Amino acid sequence: MEKFFWADKLAKDIIKVNKDKKIYVVASGITPSGQIHIGNFREVITTDMVARALESKGKKVRFIYSWDDFDRFRKVPKGVPKEYEKYIGMPLSEIPSPSGKGSYAEYLEKEFEDSLKKIGISPEFIRQSVMYKKCAYAKLIKKAIDSRKDIIKILNKYRKEPLNKDWYPIEVYCEKCKKDSTKVKSVESYEVEYECKCGFKNKFDIRKKGIVKARWRVDWPMRWKYEEVDFEPGGIDHSVAGSSYFTGKEIVKKVYNHDAPMYQLYEWIGIKGGGAFSSSAGNVLTLNDVEEIYEPEVLRYLFVGTKPKSAFSISFDNDVIKIYEDFDALERKYYDGSANPREKRMYEMSKLDKSKKQPKRISFRHLITLVQVGKTKDLNGLGKKRAEKARNWLEKYAGKDMKFKVQDKVKIKLSGKDKDAMLELKKSLERQNYTEDELFNEFYNVCEKAGTKNTDFFRIAYLIIIGKGKGPRLASLILAIGKEKVIKLLKQIK
């Protein structure tokens, strides 16, 4: 299996490193400093697929997601009130939410957690503010402080300006002003003495007061040790020489005598046809935005098919239709048994659950027509849900060529063969009911009878029915609208 699918190969390598582990820990995480970009989702789904691959090898897996919400608030992001400047330097968990409910961090976390649930991802969320405030890492932090000379040595290898001798691997949030404008003056065993720019100073025991945080480059490896992480992916910014993964790997070995988890780099994601989300417009594309257009399984499928280290773009333009069609084709192959091993694995990774029944789908292309002719009321289940995605897509992203409106009045003057053809079409429709294929064949009979060219016939039919020269497959369009309504239109031809 491993040679067919990247996540299976990673799972195999993870087990090889640590053969008899009872529970394998896979991890990802982020600092909730602003709206969470779809690029960060790639990290989560990469981890999710490795978790699934480990499980399919019969292993127990713990998938942890770290909210690094004890990190400092660095800058006010777009869309957040300017007065938030006064919170810069405070932990993200201690700032009020712009919504008025809960903290700033919780506000961002909630949206992402809800979006993840919809696509079948429910990791164990760990709020670092909770962990730090209850002094969970006190022992490991002390170890880092005791080893600070080693840490300085490791970090200085990659720094232009070396760290000072009085550098400590921790930051202290001031008890008075709540900010990190502090300087550590001295450390003795577990006791830290600090001074803040606001004038406050104090001495405290890091086992008793949760106001200290390990600096990022130490924080990350410290938690690899604490949670015994076996696998964690990282974005390209974490992956170059001297970046936090590489220094973390050295630090975790030197300070904690522990091995770094297996690592997988993931590339960024681009956007195709996203309008307001193009990089020049500067809006953040969130998982929620993608979920508005893509069904959960199709969204997973987008990521499943590309190796994490390859970049790709999420389409919002007319390619959306093709992506749905590709997914439906894969699903059919899976259920009729014609999928090759790689396709089989891709489909399994795209699924939300383990159900064995083939889902009943309506093609996205057909739904685009149904939505526009107003025939979605009778849909239910998956059809109804997919129709919602088609509607959102039409409203927000679809090209003009995909949009149409069914006409009430014939607005063109017809004569000669063109007129004869439309009158023949009316007769055919009145005569009997058709399946889509039968109706399609009937068009050619009509053309023959009227002596008109096929291309002219289609163009004129579209002009009459939807007021433009092109549209969705004509037979399917007429049946979707209902032939009675089309007959009524054709009767207006004089």
> What residues make contact with Zn ion under the rule CB under 5 A?
174, 176-177, 196, 198, 200
- The distance between the two most distant Cα atoms of the chain, rounded to a whole number of Å, is 100
Which CB atom, from 65 or from 194, has the smaller least distance to Zn ion?
A: 194
Which CB atom, from 90 or from 461, has the smaller least distance to Zn ion?
A: 90
Which CB atom, from 21 or from 201, has the smaller least distance to Zn ion?
A: 201
**Least CB distance to Zn ion at residue 175 (A):** 8
**Least CB distance to Zn ion at residue 171 (A):** 13
What b-and-e string marks burial along 44-66, b requiring 16 or more CB atoms within 10 Å of the CB?
A: bbbbbbbbbbbeebebebbbbbb
Contact assessment for residue 162 and residue 103, using Cβ atoms and an 8 Å cutoff = no
**Least CB distance to Zn ion at residue 198 (A):** 3
Contact assessment for residue 80 and residue 88, using Cβ atoms and an 8 Å cutoff = no
Contact assessment for residue 78 and residue 282, using Cβ atoms and an 8 Å cutoff = yes
**Least CB distance to Zn ion at residue 71 (A):** 18
Which CB atom, from 183 or from 272, has the smaller least distance to Zn ion?
A: 183
| 149 contact partners, CB below 8 Å, separation of at least 6 | none
Q: Scanning the structure block, which residue is given the tokens 């037979």?
A: 475
DSSP string, 152-200: HHHHHTT-SSPPPTT--SEEE--TTT-SS-EEEEEEETTEEEEEETTS-
**Least CB distance to Zn ion at residue 293 (A):** 47
Which CB atom, from 106 or from 180, has the smaller least distance to Zn ion?
A: 180
Distance CA 360, CA 381 (A): 9
**Least CB distance to Zn ion at residue 87 (A):** 13
**Least CB distance to Zn ion at residue 173 (A):** 9
**Least CB distance to Zn ion at residue 292 (A):** 43
Contact assessment for residue 439 and residue 379, using Cβ atoms and an 8 Å cutoff = no
| 52 contact partners, CB below 8 Å, separation of at least 6 | 7, 348, 349
* Tokens, residue 13: 């390598």
DSSP state of 375: -
Which CB atom, from 175 or from 227, has the smaller least distance to Zn ion?
A: 175
Residue 91 pairs in a beta bridge with 72
Contact assessment for residue 49 and residue 84, using Cβ atoms and an 8 Å cutoff = no
Which CB atom, from 88 or from 284, has the smaller least distance to Zn ion?
A: 88
Which CB atom, from 174 or from 481, has the smaller least distance to Zn ion?
A: 174
Which CB atom, from 174 or from 466, has the smaller least distance to Zn ion?
A: 174
**Least CB distance to Zn ion at residue 150 (A):** 30
Which CB atom, from 86 or from 488, has the smaller least distance to Zn ion?
A: 86
DSSP state of 97: P
**Least CB distance to Zn ion at residue 309 (A):** 44
What b-and-e string marks burial along 259-278, b requiring 16 or more CB atoms within 10 Å of the CB?
A: bbbbbbebbebbbebbeebe
**Least CB distance to Zn ion at residue 200 (A):** 5
From 270, 264, 260, 204, select the one nearest 234 (Cα to Cα).
264
Which CB atom, from 179 or from 249, has the smaller least distance to Zn ion?
A: 179
**Least CB distance to Zn ion at residue 89 (A):** 9
Which CB atom, from 200 or from 335, has the smaller least distance to Zn ion?
A: 200
| 73 contact partners, CB below 8 Å, separation of at least 6 | 33, 84, 87, 88, 89, 90, 91, 92, 95, 104
Distance CA 304, CA 296 (A): 12
DSSP string, 316-359: -STHHHHHHHHHHHHHHHHHHT---HHHHHHHHHH-SS---SPP
Strands 212-214 and 170-172 turn out to be antiparallel
Distance CA 41, CA 101 (A): 25
